[in-house]
Amino acid sequence: MFVATLTLLALVASVAFYVYVERFSKILKHSGKLGGPRAYPLIGNGLLFAGKTPAEFLQTVGRLIQQYGKCFRIWLGTQMLIVITEPKDVEAILSSNKYIDKSIEYDFIRPWLGEETAMGTKVNAQLNTESEYVQAVKDITNLVQIRLFNFLIRYEIFYRFSANRRKQLEALKVLHGYTDSVIKSRREELNRAAGSGKNTVVDENENELGIKKKMAFLDMLLQSKIDGQPLTDLEIREEVDTFMFEGHDTTTSAISFLLQNLAKHPAIQQKVFDEVRNVVGDDRTRPVTIAMLNDMHYLDLVIKETLRLYPSVPMFGRKMMEDAEINGKVFPAGSNTIILPFFLGRNPEFFPNPEKFDPERFNVETSAEKTNPYQYVPFSAGPRNCIGQKFAVAEIKSLVSKLLRNYEILPPVGQYDETFIAELILRPEKGIYVRLQPRVY
Question: Could you read off the pLDDT of 279-334 as tens digits, one per residue?
Answer: 999 999 999 999 999 999 999 999 999 999 999 989 888 888 888 888 888 898 88
Do the Cβ atoms of 389 and 379 come closer than 8 Å? yes
Count of structural domains, the chain: 1
> Measured between alpha carbons, how far is 380 from 387 in angstroms, rounded to an integer?
10
pLDDT of residue 209: 35
Confidence of residue 343 (pLDDT cuts 50, 70, 90): very high
Higher-pLDDT residue of 424, 381: 381
Residue 241 is assigned to a structural domain of this protein: yes
Nearest alpha-carbon partner for 176 in 116, 112, 119, 128 = 112
Range with top average pLDDT, 9-18, 89-98, 246-255, 381-390? 89-98
pLDDT of the residue at 37:
92
Owning domain of residue 227: 118-247
Predicted local confidence at residue 217, as pLDDT:
65
Q: Is residue 49 in some structural domain?
A: no
Judge whether 151 lies within some domain: yes
- Ranking 271-275, 297-301, 333-337 by mean pLDDT, the lowest is 333-337
pLDDT value at 17 more than 50: no
**Residue 228 included in any domain:** yes
What residues contact residue 238 under an 8 Å CB cut-off, 6+ apart? 113, 114, 115, 116
Strand residues in 288-400 grouped as ranges (E):
316-319, 324-326, 329-331, 336-339
Percent of the chain whose predicted confidence (pLDDT) is above 90:
32
How does pLDDT run across 108-147, given as a tens digit for each residue?
A: 555 555 544 444 445 554 445 557 777 777 777 777 777 7
Q: Report the candidate in 368, 337, 372, 339 with the shortest Cα–Cα distance to residue 354.
A: 368
- Provide the mean pLDDT of the chain: 79
Binding-site positions for heme: 386
Sign of the dihedral through C-alpha 308, 309, 315, 321: positive
- The dihedral region occupied by 197, where left means phi > 0, alpha psi between -120 and 50, and beta the remainder, is left
In a domain, 436, yes or no: no
CA 73 to chain centre: 23
359 has a pLDDT exceeding 90: yes
54: three-class secondary structure by DSSP: helix
Single pTM value for the model: 0.74
As annotated, the binding site includes 386
Q: Which long-range contacts (CB under 8 A, 24 or more apart) does 227-235 make?
A: 233/180, 233/183, 233/184, 233/187, 234/114, 235/114
